[in-house]
Structure 1
């Protein structure tokens, strides 16, 4: 890497402006004048050749490029503070904003009941949960961590920690089965209404394992396709079709009889749930405590 003596110039001031919400407050917090703060941010934008902030007389808003730069700068500052604390022997309490991406269904069924325990244990962490079923780019979009479920994670430069093992099950409502009949074999699904999840690769071909432990596939025709697992379960409960979903997305629909599991005597397709985060030698305290907390409360016993 080429030497760059100006690499960190303006970074601390820029982060303080964003966290403070205004140039005036940042000037007050840092002991500088407002004009100095404004000039430092201006020089930073000129050096980067990109606008970081939209400014008006009343509001201050990050540009998309500014949002990405801010998340990375804030992490660098936290890492630097951790390094200094390690040298001085100070105990570093986990603090700051923790941005986590999580599938909607998993967040509602599994995360929501334990969130208060996390916030009580770590009052200095601001937990920002982004509920989205799409596969986000953790680094480019400024996330600290993402929860992902997959039969097999794709190779990447990210670090992953598996904390939960589940299984894919085929489900339908009693009303649907009464009206359309119950399939006796997975191949019968080709003649049934099905609901598919759009973020699954080859979502219109379902994998199964037969009783001799041999893999086979069944092509299905879905009239309903959704990118949200919560909607997928709701549509199934309403009798709109048969769907296949990881068991962890369900709450008590099977126990209450709202849904019925089909092909229960067939071997299950295993689905693992991971916490995925950027590869950093010095992991921040807020990320480490979230990893440990989720493993403690939701991990396989």
Structure 2
């Protein structure tokens, strides 16, 4: 049953095999044996894809309900003994995850020696359900998908900054239009730079589309480049606080309103949630509130 669900969720035999460490052939044979036992065809097969038949769709929906019931039973037993056990898989943004979240979850794992903790660091938006993650920490706006639930963790203030040497050489911008005369250091992903939310002269925050000859997909590299005088950067304050205190970076427009990037913990919207996940969420909310953001 579980392998069948993996095939459907992964979208094919080969991808399901990668998840469970089986060959495509082994997965196909297992599904064939299941179809023979049930006496129905679950997949309509072509040379490239496997699509659910009507019987397969009905069986898939019943399998999901059965798995939910099994999870509910496990949760009930786990809650009854109040012991954190099992595997917790979490996906995290690289820098915020490494510096802010990972220390909290490592302490959580030390506190519960029967917990298996797996942390995956990636700035891409991972599909929790398809890739089998229990929790994700995400920066920025969340979508309106009904398959996930979320709690806000913290709000990260972002600042426009540059090195003093750059500002002496190029001058300080005074308006959004002035940015076109400056070298900019955007965070670059999926073939475009993410917009900066900056204040105009009246204090209203505006989304500014950023282009540049310099394109980095790592915030720490952007901070390094800004400190080396290569341009203006828009970065979370917690990341550059030490550089600003040391003088290698200077805040621009410090007297104007600033945008904040919200951070959330999200999880699949299942009816039941294991104790290990619920407690991890509570710990993250509690501990991240202690970090100064300004």
- TM norm. shorter chain > 0.5: yes
Match of 1:125 in 2: 115
Match of 1:69 in 2: none
**Partner of 1:139: helix, strand, or coil?**
helix
Change in 2 beyond 3 A, CA 1:109/1:85:
closer
1:43-122 aligned within 5 A: 43=30, 46-47=33-34, 79-84=72-77, 90-122=80-112
Match of 1:209 in 2: 199
Q: Contact between 1:163 and 1:300, CA under 8 Å: does it hold in 2?
A: no
Distance in 2 between the 1:279 and 1:81 partners? 17
Q: 2:289 aligns with which of 250, 274, 299?
A: 299
Judging by fraction of residues, say which structure has more helix. 2
Change in 2 beyond 3 A, CA 1:272/1:45:
farther
Change in 2 beyond 3 A, CA 1:9/1:185:
closer
Q: Contact between 2:193 and 2:209, CA under 8 Å: does it hold in 1?
A: no
**Partner of 1:252: helix, strand, or coil?**
helix
Q: Map Cα deviations across residues 187-225 of structure 1 (whole Å, 9 max, x no partner).
A: 321111111112499736533233534344545431112
Match of 2:137 in 1: 147
Change in 2 beyond 3 A, CA 1:9/1:179:
closer
Q: TM-score, normalised by structure 2?
A: 0.70
Distance in 1 between the 2:144 and 2:175 partners? 34
The CA RMSD over aligned residues, in Å, is 3.7
Match of 2:172 in 1: 182
**Partner of 1:196: helix, strand, or coil?**
coil
**Segment of structure 1 superposing worse, 96-105 or 178-187:** 178-187
Q: 2:214 aligns with which of 212, 224, 234?
A: 224
1:170 partnered with 2:170: no
**Partner of 2:214: helix, strand, or coil?**
strand
Q: What 5-or-longer segments of structure 1 have no aligned partner?
A: 1-6, 12-20, 22-38, 51-72
Distance in 2 between the 1:162 and 1:237 partners? 31
Distance in 1 between the 2:69 and 2:189 partners? 33
Distance in 1 between the 2:134 and 2:2 partners? 21
Q: Contact between 1:99 and 1:144, CA under 8 Å: does it hold in 2?
A: yes
Match of 2:256 in 1: 266
Q: Map Cα deviations across residues 147-206 of structure 1 (whole Å, 9 max, x no partner).
A: 1111x3221121010020122211112232233332233332111111111249973653
Aligned length: 247
Q: Contact between 2:85 and 2:116, CA under 8 Å: does it hold in 1?
A: yes
Distance in 1 between the 2:259 and 2:190 partners? 14
Distance in 2 between the 1:125 and 1:76 partners? 22
**Segment of structure 1 superposing worse, 202-211 or 221-230:** 202-211
Match of 1:59 in 2: none
Q: TM-score, normalised by structure 1?
A: 0.69
Match of 1:14 in 2: none
